[in-house]
Amino acid sequence: MHSLSSNTASIAVSMQSATPSSHGGATAASTGSSHPYATPASNNQIPPANATPQGGSMPITNEPPADTANTAPVETQPPPAESRRLAALDVGTNSIRLIVVELLADAGFRMLDDEKVIARLGHGLASTGRMDPERIEFAVTAIERLRKVAEGFGVSMFRAVATAAVREAENGQDFVDLVRERAGVELEIISADQEARLSFRSIEAAFDLDQTNALITDIGGGSTELLVSIGGVVDQVQTMRLGAVRLTEMFGPAETHDQFRRMRAHVQRTLRSDAGQPVVPVQIMYGTGGTFTALAALAMMRRDFETRSDGILPFAVRGYELQRSDVRHILDWIAKMSVRERAALPGLSPDRAEIIVAGVLIAERVMRRFDVNRLRVHDGGIRDGLIRKMIDELLGRIPVDGRSRIPIDRLAEARRFAAKCHDEERSGEHVAMLAASIFDQLAAHMSDTTPGIFTPENREILQAAAILRDVGYLVNYAKHHKHSYHLIVHSDLRGFTAREVAIIANTARYHRRSKPKRKHREFMKLEPDDRRTVEVLSAILRIADGLDRTHTQAIQSLEITRDDQAMHMLVSALQFPEVDIWGAERRKSLFQRVFNTYLHIRWASDPELVPAELADEDDDDD
């Protein structure tokens, strides 16, 4: 195991277009806490996180981000003047980043400050499983200073998130507690999935993803997140324990051929085991994180573009495009250098000289694994995505702690997502109507035997699942019900909780072919009561979907009655709906099992008419 150098006190600052009301870089203070990483108290005490900073600004709040990510624009009034400055802090494995922004009248924003501290919280984590006490002390000091920077700008909302290093470390919660006590900041540890979604939120705001299948790659210090977007809709999210700091600590800075060879073999093994192939080919990879911005800078400087004497890059990093061959050539080039030689390269920060080979190697191997030749670089990332979520919350677009200032029409959100997936609107609305009618009538007959199922919330969940059941066509007709699950579970359905989205996704997944089974991992992730809900709702949805087998919306209404032997469903249509009744009859086995009764489906105008011999739908597709 190799130890990275700890010369990490450098701070890079970029300020644009504004001067804060008070902007200090005071040294860190201590509270004299008994925390295991606490240091002796000093006279420079930290004001509480909700203290009002100079200049009469609003108190800083540290609410955790909401579960939902990207949202569609809605017409809203601009926020009040005192709420127009926001700050987001990203505590990563290698660096800690702060951005401060000011909202504009059109709900966009301009950057006020962008500051980075190389803290290397992941130093030693790969070998010990714990964050180093010295790195913790340095990071807490940096976070406190950055909080004071944000206060100086008079921000009204401040969010702080931590990623892989804090997420994985045995003493991660100790660090969070110490940051709260010493720095006055409530730090939220976010999951790898949330991390990928924040990066996606930033990238989709910067680039048009609607017309392409894209791979979003976020290479951090401790992990790499991969997100597949199909026409701007999230289909897959994957995470791997591959990071620039982690690999460098495991194999060294790749100054020798042996170090590089072993590092490359490890990356290839990890990709083969952890990075599943997307269901559709991807045309382009978008890269976010320090590795990619450094890669773009190196590419510009290496091609001998004209630069000013101060070394400023000739083009913006955002949107800079490279081919896979470019990435491979740069990798071969820097892998032959010592760390000292890399540190002298124009365009590369000396702080990244040790870890740059590991980061570029991950990028090159991911492109190779997914057979993608184009790379487009993005200079935003988690903190930018977090700011955009905060703006949505401030404008009432998405709920905070389960509440929204603007009422959310949840079914309208389902329709919006279905339209984004180019789904057939008429069929979705018709099946949702039939499913709701079945649900309402069953509530009168079965509520005593299925307590807690027939609620208004579950009715709306069923309707949403009906509207979204076929969104998987965006990927492929074959197994589209499975594709629907993945698209829905990774969607941004405003107003629905993460639990409700999971129920919607599972219900849509079981609208055809296989019934819910214990060997289905996604189904078994649900709580027992929610699994029962999925069984009931998908049983109803299978019937409703079958009743529009012709996609002609022929069934106008239906009526359910029950006797001691069976349940009877009479459907109204202008003509004998033979195919639609056949479609429902062949999917009724789950319904009969769930409700423990036989079901007969007939045409109301002539109940004696029945379709030809019926068979239950093939159940071999798991």
* pLDDT of res. 176: 97
Q: What is the mean pLDDT of residues 95-106?
A: 92
Note the pLDDT tens digit of each residue in 186-227: 999 999 989 999 999 999 989 999 889 999 999 999 999 999
Q: Name the nearest CA neighbour of 256 among 335, 341, 329.
A: 335
- Structural contact between residues 64 and 158, judged by C-beta atoms closer than 8 angstroms: no
284-288: strand order across its sheet: 233-240, 224-230, 213-219, 284-288, 374-378, 321-323
Percent of the chain scoring above 90 in pLDDT:
65
Q: Please, what's the b/e burial string for 161-185 (b: 16 or more CB within 10 A of its CB; e: otherwise)?
A: bbbbbbbbbebbebbbbbbbbbbbb
* pLDDT of res. 571: 97
Note the pLDDT tens digit of each residue in 333-369: 999 999 999 999 988 999 999 999 999 999 999 999 9
**Alpha-helical segments (H) within 159-310:** 164-168, 172-178, 192-206, 244-251, 257-274, 290-302
The CA angle 510-511-517, to the nearest 5 degrees, is: 20
Least confidently predicted of 33-42, 172-181, 503-512: 33-42
DSSP state letter for 564:
S
Return the higher-pLDDT residue of 59 and 298: 298
Task: Kindly tell me if the per-residue pLDDT of 455 is higher than 90.
Answer: yes
- The model's confidence at residue 87, banded by pLDDT at 50, 70 and 90, is very high
Which residues are bridge partners to 600 per DSSP?
A: 568
Note the pLDDT tens digit of each residue in 528-558: 999 999 999 999 999 999 999 999 999 999 9
DSSP state letter for 181:
I
Contacts of 160 (CB under 8 A, 6+ apart): 62, 88, 89, 90, 91, 143, 179, 185, 186, 187, 188
SS3 state at 318:
coil
Least confidently predicted of 425-429, 450-454, 559-563: 450-454
- Give dist(CA 247, CA 559) in Å, integer: 64
Per CATH, 11-193 and 209-384 having the same topology is answered: yes
- The model's confidence at residue 449, banded by pLDDT at 50, 70 and 90, is confident
Note the pLDDT tens digit of each residue in 109-125: 999 999 999 999 999 99
- Give dist(CA 534, CA 525) in Å, integer: 12
**Average pLDDT value over all residues in the chain:** 83
* pLDDT of res. 314: 56
Instruction: Spell out where 269-390 has E strands.
Output: 284-288, 321-323, 374-378
Task: Kindly tell me if the per-residue pLDDT of 14 is higher than 90.
Answer: no
pTM across the whole model? 0.71
Q: Which residue has the tokens 């997100």?
A: 227
- The model's confidence at residue 170, banded by pLDDT at 50, 70 and 90, is very high
Choose the CATH number for 11-193 among 3.30.420.40, 2.60.40.10, 3.30.365.10, 2.50.20.10: 3.30.420.40
The C-alpha torsion from 196 through 197 and 198 to 202, rounded to 10°, is: 100
- Structural contact between residues 130 and 102, judged by C-beta atoms closer than 8 angstroms: no
Torsions phi, psi for 187 (to 5 deg) = -100, 125
Domain spans, the chain? 11-193, 209-384, 410-603
Task: Kindly tell me if the per-residue pLDDT of 597 is higher than 90.
Answer: yes
Q: Which residue has the tokens 């083009």?
A: 315
Tell me how long the chain is. Answer: 622
- Give dist(CA 513, CA 304) in Å, integer: 59
* pLDDT of res. 327: 97
Q: What is the mean pLDDT of residues 26-42?
A: 35
Contacts of 222 (CB under 8 A, 6+ apart): 92, 93, 122, 125, 163, 164, 165, 168, 241, 243, 245, 246
Contacts of 162 (CB under 8 A, 6+ apart): 91, 92, 172, 175, 176, 187, 188, 189, 190
* pLDDT of res. 75: 43
Token output for 129: 């499983």
SS3 state at 402:
coil
Q: At what angle do helices 356-369 and 257-274 cross, to 10 degrees?
A: 40
- The model's confidence at residue 280, banded by pLDDT at 50, 70 and 90, is confident
The CA angle 186-188-193, to the nearest 5 degrees, is: 165
Token output for 553: 């919306």
- The CATH class, in words, for 410-603 is mainly alpha
Task: Kindly tell me if the per-residue pLDDT of 305 is higher than 60.
Answer: no
* pLDDT of res. 63: 38
Q: At what angle do helices 356-369 and 244-251 cross, to 10 degrees?
A: 110
- Give dist(CA 242, CA 122) in Å, integer: 12
CATH of region 209-384: 3.30.420.150
Task: Kindly tell me if the per-residue pLDDT of 5 is higher than 80.
Answer: no
* pLDDT of res. 47: 32
- Pairing relation of β-strands 85-91 and 157-162? parallel
- Number of CB atoms found within 10 A of residue 475's CB: 24
- Give dist(CA 438, CA 433) in Å, integer: 9
The C-alpha torsion from 125 through 130 and 133 to 137, rounded to 10°, is: 80
- Report which residue type is found at 132: D
* pLDDT of res. 415: 94
- Give dist(CA 442, CA 427) in Å, integer: 22
